[in-house]
Structure 1
Amino acid sequence: MEIIIVLGVIALVVLFFVAQYNRLIRLNISVDEAWAQIEVQLKRRADLIPNLVETVKGYAAHEQSTFDAVVTARAKATTASTVADTAAADGMLTQALRGLLAVAEAYPDLKASANFISLQEELATTENKVAFSRQFYNDNVRELNTAVKTVPTNFFAGFAKVTEREFYEVEDPQDRKAPSVKF
């Protein structure tokens, strides 16, 4: 009878261990999946940019510095590899795109162009998907990091080779400034 109780306790401990290990692995995979979704959306946005730049160029050829800023930012965004580098490049690209769209505001014929309108709408949709993907990634990172830091799963994190992950934070100077309101 004592052997059955000891075997039962050992089986429960093993099951608990397996459950915690598998939970950490699932959380880690979820973070990887969420990161892949960010990369897909950023790639989609990067693929839209050359068409948008060419469309605006046709109307505003003398705005070369704006075009150069967008091209440079796109190049950095497509070559970034770490979460921090990708987030920094993403912020830089967002700023450059804002500059490009500001240039477009000065050209009524461009704003009325069906091609430009279509590209702008597609870019806006993609930006929403990028924002959603960032949030999804950060939610998964929060859940993983919480598991890695809290009892009992923190005891199994090393064995599962799962560590804390970095949040995706875009540093956008315009987000830090208070808007000016004039009446």
Structure 2
Amino acid sequence: MKKRFLIIISFIFIFILITGSWIIKIYNNLIRLNENIKNQWGQVENVYQRRSDLIPNLVNTVKGSASFEKGTLTQIVESRAKATSIHINADNLSQDQINKFQKAQENLNNSIGKLFFIMENYPTLKATQNFSELQNQLEGTENRINVERNRFNDQVNNFNTYRNQFPEIIISNFFSKFKEKGYFKSQINANKTPIVDFSVILVI
């Protein structure tokens, strides 16, 4: 009887040990994948911040070089202010939060795109060294943004795929920090030509 009892206890102990090891392994994998996302999110924020830092110089260069459409410059300044006011907690990268961040950044991106489109009508300004350098830096930053966003989406895909598998999803659902993460999505009407209004002119 005593021997049978010890066997049962041993089986229970082994079961608890195996189950505990399994849970720890899944938890640690989730932590690793989650940290990869947070690290990549930091890279995304860095490239967006670089773009934001370039914009005041761009606006000042335009203002100081030519008569220009006041509405476009005002739109850029306002869009930048809105974009920089939105801060996303790296522990809460839900789809709603990513969409909110992306929308503000794309509004700014559209304003910058409209500025460069209008520059075709200002060859003198377009030819100035300061504007040309800033334009090149912004275009380079946009390329970097696309790279970092794609890397972020890859990390999110790795995390979401792992956490939604069975039985990993059982462990994931016990911890709020292991909720599904949001993706950056393609910009709606990304190829749409900006609408230009020359009715309001800023005289320098």
User: Would you say same fold, with TM above 0.5?
Assistant: yes
Aligned to 1:23: 29
CA contact (8 A) 1:95 1:172 kept: no
Rg larger for: 2
Could you tell me which of 139, 143, 154 is aligned with 2:154?
A: 139
Aligned to 1:67: 73
Aligned length: 177
1:145 CA drift (Å): 1.4
Equivalent position SS for 2:62: helix
TM-score, with length taken from structure 2: 0.77
Equivalent position SS for 2:173: helix
Aligned to 1:167: 183
Equivalent position SS for 1:174: coil
Aligned to 2:134: 119
Aligned to 1:154: 169
Amino acid in structure 2 at the alignment position of 1:20: I
CA contact (8 A) 1:24 1:160 kept: no
CA contact (8 A) 2:62 2:68 kept: no
1:155 CA drift (Å): 1.3
1:6 CA drift (Å): 6.2
Aligned to 2:200: none
1:97 matched to 2:94? The reply is: no
Q: Work out the CA distance in 1 between the residues paired with 2:44 and 2:109.
A: 15
Equivalent position SS for 2:181: coil
Amino acid in structure 1 at the alignment position of 2:103: A
Higher helix share: 1
Amino acid in structure 1 at the alignment position of 2:30: L
- What is the CA deviation profile of residues 113-148 of structure 1, one whole-angstrom value per residue up to 9, with x for unaligned ones? 111111111111111111111111111111111122
Equivalent position SS for 2:190: helix
Amino acid in structure 1 at the alignment position of 2:69: E
Alpha-carbon RMSD across the aligned residues, in angstroms, is: 2.2
Equivalent position SS for 2:174: helix
Identity level (%): 34
- What is the CA deviation profile of residues 34-92 of structure 1, one whole-angstrom value per residue up to 9, with x for unaligned ones? 21211111111000011111112223333101101111111111012332221001111
Unpaired segments ≥5 residues, structure 1: 179-183
